[in-house]
Amino acid sequence: MQNLGANISLIISSMLMYASPLIFAAMGGIICENAGVVNIGLEGMMAIGAFIAAALASVTGSNPWLSWLAAGIAGGIFGLLHGIAVTKFRAQHIISGIAINLLAPGLGIFLCKLFYAGTVSTPMLGASQKIPMLFTNIPQGAFKFLTGPVTNYLIFILVFVVWFVLYKTKIGLRIRAIGENPLAAETLGINALKIKLYSSIVSGILAGMGGALLTISISSMYRPNSVCGHGFIALASIIFGRWNPKNTFGACLLFGLCQELAMFIPGLSDSLFDLSDVFSLIPYLVSLLILMFVVKGSNGPAANGAIYYRKG
């Protein structure tokens, strides 16, 4: 019974850890898409954040929180580029997002080769360079999950803040109004283009922070495949959660659980065959099945993805 409690505790802790990057990226995507800006560039923004965090931590040995914030700034820069493309230059949102998904990971690989003698991965990070644990002295047992990284618990605050801003504040009402009908919002004196731009920047910041967690919290180093579809899973979570922070939080936890099970289940078997690669497909298969069968008919904000510009 004690082993069962310890295993469940370990699964919960790992689920939160694997869900954290998704939740940061998804909350950014929710803000952005509620303002009417489709952001499929979350994958690229996470990728550049993953590199910047690992590189800064390994080169300078800096505090992991500074690396995390730097990753957010890097993601925010790409969020700014996306926002300018769709507001000032009236670019198709999907095309701009695809460009970011090509440019940002490519830039990360280029900089990695530049700073690390042609290699495409950073050195392993030490314990002091990673996000610290919340508690470290809890004995083995049912409450062992409390020893997870601090970001395991920041996600609850983040989801509440995003929900509160969107549904309980004036700025949140304006964001949602623009996502439904930017022209009507402008007739009330709301600067729709500015809010779209700011929402895109915030989306990039949170996605960059989410990507950073993949390297300075989970894998301890940057590789070209560090993000490996997490941005797209975050997008699937947004659609599954119907663009609502609380529902999306639950969807991200589901994907985090799938990823943990993909790591946990192979360890239970004494089979001579290594099935880890097969089980690693679980999160992606679940996201595909959800998009195919669960979210059919799910519609986001009415003007999401529409090209809007101020006439006259």
- What one-character-per-residue DSSP string does the chain give? -HHHHHHHHHHHHHHHHHHHHHHHHHHHHHHHHHTT---TTHHHHHHHHHHHHHHHHHHH---HHHHHHHHHHHHHHHHHHHHHHHHTS---HHHHHHHHHHHHHHHHHHHHHHHTTT-SSPPPPPGGGSPPBS-S-PPSSTTGGGGSBTHHHHHHHHHHHHHHHHHHSHHHHHHHHHHH-HHHHHHTT--HHHHHHHHHHHHHHHHHHHHHHIIIIIISS--TTSSTTHHHHHHHHHHHTTT-HHHHHHHHHHHHHHHHHHHHGGGG---SS--HHHHTTHHHHHHHHIIIIISTT----TTTT-------
220 and 255 together in one domain: no
Instruction: Write out pLDDT tens, residues 71-123.
Output: 999 999 999 999 999 999 999 999 999 999 999 999 999 999 999 989 999 99
252 and 215 together in one domain: no
Range of the structural domain that residue 251 is part of: 247-299
52 and 107 together in one domain: yes
pLDDT of residue 272: 41
Domain count, the chain: 2
222 and 98 together in one domain: yes
Tell me if 214 is assigned to some domain.
yes
278 and 186 together in one domain: no
32 and 114 together in one domain: yes
49 and 131 together in one domain: yes
Positions in the chain whose pLDDT score sits under 50: 1, 272-273
62 and 91 together in one domain: yes
205 and 255 together in one domain: no
Instruction: Write out pLDDT tens, residues 258-295.
Output: 888 877 676 555 554 455 667 678 788 888 887 777 76
